[in-house]
Every structure is written in structure tokens, then in C-alpha cells.
Amino acid sequence: MGNSKKAKTALISVFHKDGLMPIIQKLNDLNITIYSTGGTEKFIKELGVSVIPVEDLTSYPSILGGRVKTLHPKVFGGILSRRENENDILQLKQYEIPEIDIVIVDLYPFEKTVSSGASEEDIIEKIDIGGISLIRAAAKNFNDVFCVSSLNQYDEFLEILSASKGETTLAQRKNFAAKAFAVSSHYDSAIFNYLNEDELAFRQSFDKVSVLRYGENPHQRGYFFGNLEDLFDILHGKELSYNNLLDVDAAINLMNEFKNDEPTFAILKHNNACGVAQRATLKQAYLDALAADPTSAFGGVLISNKVIDLETAQEIHELFCEVVIAPGFNSDALALLKGKKNRIILVQKAIELPNTQYRTALNGVLFQDKNNKSDNVDVVNFVTVNNPTDRELEDLLFASKICKHTKSNTIVLAKNKQLFASGTGQTSRVDALNQAIVKAKHFKFDLNGAVMASDAFFPFPDCVEIANNEGIIAVIQPGGSIKDQLSIDYCNEHKMSMIFTGTRHFKH
């Protein structure tokens, strides 16, 4: 083995003791001297294994309520000493510092403490100082020292220890050093993001990674960094793909607009809604969402704001779809939907999603606040002589919520809380409107009495004129064009109602 080193000593200081016992026993079997302190030392003693307290090595007790235990030259000298450097060897002898060949650390659970809602005092006490210092020192000196920096590495380390009878290769030590700096950088990023209020800096880190079948296309590699199990119970089906995840993200954000409403169902394809409906029953909401575009629904992502019952599941089961998402499934509904072996079934958990977004751009990252502003009756401005009726106002706000989550430029047409059609990702608003009209007519929708939502203002009155000619009677848009009055005048002349929201909803 290249640059093989046989360990004689180990320092262990961990928060979680799970999985540690077989390592302790193996170290003991290999006659490796163990140093430890605090709760870890007590744990080792209870296993009947000999352990040297760090305090005996340093001649200093643990002080400041445990804040200072291992921070001492006799500890860090033994970790950082270069085994083939004559001066280092002489200094170790001079100061009676033993070499430390293995360092095993599991840090205080800072992120878990933050997410628990603990007080700031408790959170600050969970910022590990000694542990993170031990990790960095051992990882830096990977040429001579093996660093285990997380309980997630215990099993792999035990395999190495057992297979080689205490010997490790340079490649193994370097690999674990890289893992160690991944742990330390993630830990520091979490602390920074908790404390930071004013510093403009981008620090994001994810411990868990899923290797996807491929990226957006088969020739691209794809990965997901994050823990989907925090958000979903994955009940059935194949692994989520890169494109599935993008659609699921779009579906979750759209349905959040309706999470406290009457039964609502949405069908998405390529990040855009191709069907949305709100009805008295979930089954009818699904059927009316499907009616908006049964062609695009094939292979789509389905999402509900209510528990899916058997009646609804029987209808869904007739459709080939990639993913079904709901807050729950009745047992008979779940059994039926599992009839398609690849169909992905997700139960969405009630957790808060991040309030920020970022994406790569050029040689950097674009970062922004998430668009958490939704249009509602309290913010709209009635700008025409005719005001929308209560039903029309409900439809306008329904259409606006869908519009917010559709690729720009977009126009959304709706009626009776049912998406009729949308024009998506067009280079002009007129093109988006014409696309929506053609699509609505293709699926036999009557646009008379329908409403129109736009993600941005109308620079000219052409869109309201086209809409009027198709029987559309009410419009919702942000307003803000220097030529707003032209659209207002046209609506007044043709007895249309229009409301301004004051909020643009571009989505790129």
C-alpha cells in the first residue's frame, strides 16, 4: 500500500455516540492507545476499554463549562507534527508530546439546534470550537493522520480499520481529509447564515447529495444537493429525475398559492401549469384540470391541496403521469395508484420552503428574494368604470396566481376557477395571448365571460382589444406603463373591467 501508516494512537471526541462502540472495540483489539475527554471518555470507560483522559495529557482540566478541553499544544502538536521532519520529532520529545495518528470527531449539532427553535444562547453554545479545530488540524496533516469527521463516516472507517489491521494508505487519508474539509466548510456556512444580517456574501452548503440518472438531457450528469426526505415521504415509484425535480418544484410553489382553499388540482409539464381547477370535490377539480389540456397532461406532474380519495385516484389511474403529490392518500387510493410501478407518489410534509432563490449565471450566481407576494383583493386597484363582479374578481385572482408561476411572457385565461389556457414563455405579450386563445379554442372552451391575467403591464391596448374580440370581460395586470390610460380607455369604451395589482410577476 502506498505511503502506508500503522496507527498507534487515537483521539476521540464526539457528540453522537451512535455507531461508535464497534470502532472503540476494534481500536482496543489493535492495541491502539485511546485519548478522550468528557462524555466520550465516560462512554469508552463504560465499554470496559482503557482510555487516557486528555486532561492527563495536557495537565489542564476542562474549563469554562467545557468550552476549553482539547485546545492545547500537547494535543495539536501531536496531530500536526510531521513524522519525517527532524525538528518536529525533536520538539515532540522535548515537550513530551505523543503523536496522534487517528482523530475521530462528531461536531455539536448546530443546524439541528437552530431548526429546533432553541434560544440564541443554546444555539451559540452549539458552535463547536475544539471539534472543528481538531478536524482541520488532522485533515491538514493527512500525510500522517487519519481524520474521521462525522458519524456518517464511521462504517467506512471501521471497514478500513478492520481490513488493514490499523494501517491506512495516503489515498485513504487524503480522501477522508477532503470529507473533513467538506464537513467544516458546511458547518461554518451554517453558522454564517444564522448570524448574518447585513453582510452581502453568498454561502450555501448541502451535506446530502443524490446522484440522478442524468441531468436535463441524457448526455449531462445530474445531482441533487439537499434532503428530499425533509419535504416528502416518498411512497412509491422510480427515482426522481432532474426534470422531475424541476416540475415538482414548480408544482409545490404553485399549489402553495391554494393550500388553504377549496379542493384544487393542478397538472404541470415543463414547469408550467397545463391544467388547474378548483371545485367542491377533488375528483371534479382533477377532471376539470385535465380538461384544460389532456394532451400535455400525458407524462406530467399532478398535485393536489387535499388528501386524495379513491374516487379521484380512479380517474388519475387512467392517465400516464410521472408524479402525484398530495398532503396524503387514503389507503385504498394509494393501493390503486401503486398499480403503476414507476409512478412516483409523494406525500408533502408541512414545512417552510426557503425564502431566497439562486442560480448560476455567467461566471457567478444570481441571488434574489423569492417572489412571495400574491395578488389579493386588499391590494388591487379598480381602474375602470365597470368593476368586476364578485365571481369575476375570484376568477381574476385565481388566474393571477397561476400567471405568477408561469414562464414569461405569459397570459392566462380562466373562467369559473378553471384554467382555460395559457400562453407561456413568449417573446411578446400579444403572442402569449394569441397562443392562449388558440389553445383554449382547440379544447372547445367558450371564452365568452372569461378573464385574462398578465404577468406584466400592457405597453399598448392591443391585448385588451384582442381579448374583447374573443368575449373576455375582465382583466388583471400590474399596471405601470406610461400608456396605461390607453388600455383603460379601451376597456371603458367596451364595458370591460380591469384591475391593477401594482406587482409584476416575471418568471424566467
Which residues are annotated as catalytic?
140, 270
CA 119 remoteness from chain centre: 25
Q: Which amino acid is at 25?
A: Q
Helix (H) or strand (E) holding 489: helix 484-493
Long-range contacts of 475-481, Cβ-Cβ distance < 8 Å, separation of 24 or more: 475/396, 475/451, 475/499, 476/375, 476/380, 476/396, 476/397, 476/399, 476/400, 476/451, 476/452, 476/501, 477/453, 477/501, 478/454, 478/502, 478/503, 478/504, 478/505, 479/381, 479/383, 480/504, 481/457
Place of cell 495539536: 76
Q: Quick check: 308 and 329 in contact, CB under 8 A? A: yes
Reduced DSSP (H G I as helix, E B as strand, rest coil) percent helix, strand, coil of the chain, to 5 = 40, 20, 40
3-state secondary structure of 68: strand
Strand pairing class (474-477; 497-500): parallel
Q: Quick check: 350 and 259 in contact, CB under 8 A? A: no
Q: Quick check: 35 and 100 in contact, CB under 8 A? A: yes
CA dist., res. 23 & res. 38, Å (int): 18
Pull the grid cell for residue 7: 496507527
Helix (H) or strand (E) holding 468: helix 462-469
Q: Within 13 Å of residue 307, how many CA atoms lie on the same side as its CB?
A: 9
- Cβ burial, residue 313 (10 Å; 0-12/13-18/19+): buried
Evaluated on CA atoms 360, 366, 368, 373, the torsion sign reads negative
SS (H, E, C) 74-132: HHHHHHHCCCCCHHHHHHHHHCCCCCCCEEEEECCCHHHHHHCCCCHHHHHHCCCCHHH
CA dist., res. 326 & res. 305, Å (int): 6
Pull the grid cell for residue 92: 515532540
User: Using only C-alpha atoms, what is the Rg of the chain?
Assistant: 31
Tell me how crowded residue 483 is: count the other CB atoms within 10 A of its CB: 12
Tell me how crowded residue 305 is: count the other CB atoms within 10 A of its CB: 23
Give the CA angle between residues 477, 483, 489 to the nearest 5°. 75
